[in-house]
Amino acid sequence: MGLENQKEDLGQTLGAYGVKGGCYFVLPILGPTTVRDSLGMVVDNQYLDAFAKITWHEKEIKSLSGSKIDYVGVKAATAVDFRGDNMLNFESLEKNSIDLYAATKSLYLQDRSKKIKNTSGSDDESWGDLDK
């Protein structure tokens, strides 16, 4: 049909339309975010994610059903997998930065800016596969 899997989220879409990120903060377990991106994450996960529709809301869709524990389990495993894939990068960042919070904030905001503009930096600037 010519459709491609897009790795865009509502936060990126709002950013492309000029909505500012707002304040930066770190959510427990979920990690760094901004007001715009956390709002986008809630909408993406609760209303636009088909997996969430099947599991979290416990609706039967084409005789598929799941439970909230399935949804939470998959999301937790994804977070652990991301952390595992980037362990060396996180250790290097922690070891080489004077202020870990400021370094993480800078990397996050730069990454989100690149994603909103649909640009990619050089391999030296990226740290792991952040699209997971």
Predicted model pTM: 0.71
Residues 73-92: tens digit of each pLDDT: 877 888 888 888 989 998 99
Q: What is the pLDDT of residue 73?
A: 80
Q: Tell me 19's DSSP state.
A: -
**E strands, 2-128, in order:** 24-27, 31-34
Low-confidence ranges of the chain (pLDDT < 50): 124, 131-132
Q: What are phi and psi of 125, to 5 degrees?
A: -85, -25
Q: What is the pLDDT of residue 40?
A: 92
Task: Give me 51's structure tokens.
Answer: 């997996």
pLDDT at 75: 77
> What residues contact 70, with CB distance under 8 A and at least 6 apart?
55
Q: Which region, left, alpha or beta, applies to residue 85 given φ > 0 means left and ψ of -120 to 50 means alpha?
A: alpha
